[in-house]
Structure 1
Amino acid sequence: MGLLVSLPGGIPDMDWVLLLLLPTACLQAGNPAGSNREKLYGFGQPMRISGVQGGSIEIPFFFYFPWELAKDPQMRILWRWKNYHGEFIYNSSSGFIHEHFKGRLILNWTQPQTSGVLRILDLKEKDQTVYFCRVHLKTKERMESFQSINGTQLTFTPAVRTITKSPSIITSAVTTAGLEDTEGQRNPSLVSLGATVGVVVATAVLITPVYVMLIFLWWKKRPAD
């Protein structure tokens, strides 16, 4: 039987895809040595996941077991960090959250689901470590608990840096561009003004002799005193 798992947060890495494609018989996480196919139990988590400091990540998980659950299975999801026997950072039944992760952990899971997602918000430098999911549940015979062996390694990828120019540099560039665009060309307003002055001067040169001649003739014809 195949396992259908919804993976939020984008495309998972190849290790996670291969994990989902493997038959249940090959998933050995949590299996005691010498156990047969009917007694398989374990976890599925991506081996690696990456994020950006200050951002958030989601760690998907699923688990499987052969036992028949009690009427009230009392299922609990817990998370450890750093190593297999590391400190607990989350407990779904008590609502416990490690001091380092206060206000930054969200578990998307409800009983009796066998898959879910742990979300870590506002990633800190110290968050770069390994995370292990653990489950406790009650069967018809007894309480059982098991945990992911390899866990999920969280690493950070460099943030994309955006280069911006200061306003003064941008203004200078625009001004320079304007000067370069007009280099070797006359300013249209100056050309228009020059043409107007030229017409006025030419008109004055042509009209002045005429006026001088008229004044001279008038003076010659006036009656003698």
Structure 2
Amino acid sequence: MSLLVSLTGGIPDMASVLLLLLLAACLQAGNPAGSNREYLYGFDQQTHISGVQGDSIEIPFSFYFPWKLAKDPQMRILWRWKHFHGEFIYNSSSGFIHEHFKNRLILNWTQPQASGVLRILDLKEKDQTVYFCRVHLKTKKCTESFQSINGTQLFITPAVRTITKSPSIVTSAVTMAGLEDIEGQRNPSLVSLGATIGVVLATAVLITPVYVMLIFLRWKKR
């Protein structure tokens, strides 16, 4: 920042210069070079994220602040949905989970970390909305709390289902087709087998008396 100030006025002008320099230093301290952060404290969340219905997604978050934490910062993470002042769906200190998300929310975060991940399991169509993270913490001077301003918009994509025939169904269909063929016409192999058995039985009936007679004659000669 360049300052063009006339010093002809003496001491009052010098006081103005010092005041402007002090203001510039404060601005640089609050917004370091290369930083896009507008405030001294706040959240960094993705503007939007997408998931497939029935799957799970993760919403990462991180926060920053200028204060020094107390020895026991008593930090707790909360989540809201739908809008900035919407219902709370999660509270890390009490273990509260909104009825709509029962057994479907997992917070991967440990005090005093300034970042973490909220995981939503078994995504449903009604989960498509905006999610805001909020933090409460204890500093050396007082207790502070702040929340993400824009939150993260979650988009849900319907799951694509593919229909496949079960092997058991295919096997059953083939078997039934075979049975229908057998009912419609006789199996040639079965007919041939029946004829062969008939011939064998007839031959046995004719030959048996002859063998009996031969055995009787031989016994009589002896």
Q: What residue in structure 1 maps to residue 133 of structure 2? A: 133
1:159 deviation in Å? 2.3
Match of 1:192 in 2: none
- Greater fraction helix: 2
In the TM superposition, 1:13-28 aligns within 5 A as 25-28=35-38
Q: Distance in 2 between matches of 1:158 and 1:123?
A: 10
What are the ranges of 5 or more consecutive residues in structure 2 without an aligned counterpart? 1-32, 175-222
Secondary structure, in 3 states, of the residue corresponding to 1:25?
coil
Indicate the residue corresponding to 2:203 in structure 1.
none
Q: Which structure 2 residues correspond to residues 7-156 of structure 1 after superposition, within 5 A?
A: 25-28=35-38, 31=39, 40-156=40-156
TM-score by length of 2: 0.58
Distance in 1, matches of 2:159 and 2:101, equals 22
- Amino acid in the other structure paired with 1:74: Q
Which residue of 1 is the match for residue 159 of structure 2?
Answer: 159
> CA–CA distance in 2 between the matches of 1:52 and 1:153?
14
SS of equivalent to 1:160: coil
State the SS of the aligned residue for 2:100: helix
**1:88 offset after TM fit, Å?**
0.5
Per-residue Cα deviation, 1:89-131 (whole angstroms, up to 9, x for no partner): 0010111111111111100001000000000111111111000
**C-alpha contact (below 8 Å) 2:108/2:118 kept by paired residues:** yes
Offset of 1:165 from its aligned partner?
5.8
Whichever of the two has the greater Rg, that structure is 2
Q: Give CA-to-partner distance per residue, 1:171-219, whole Å, 9 cap, x none.
A: 89xxxxxxxxxxxxxxxxxxxxxxxxxxxxxxxxxxxxxxxxxxxxxxx
| Aligned-pair identity (%) | 80
Is there any run of 5+ residues in structure 1 with no aligned partner, and where? 1-22, 32-39, 173-225
DSSP 3-state at the match of 2:35: helix
Letter aligned with residue 47 of structure 2 = M
Correspondence for 1:17: none
The alpha carbon displacement at 1:47 in A equals 0.7
Shift of 1:24: 6.8
Give the length in aligned residue pairs: 141
**Residue identity in the other structure for 1:162:** T
Q: Is residue 80–residue 131 contact of structure 2 (8 Å, CA) maintained in 1?
A: yes
Rounded Cα–Cα distance in structure 2 between residues aligned with 1:164 and 1:107:
37
* Change over 3 Å in CA distance of 1:74–1:126 after alignment to 2: same
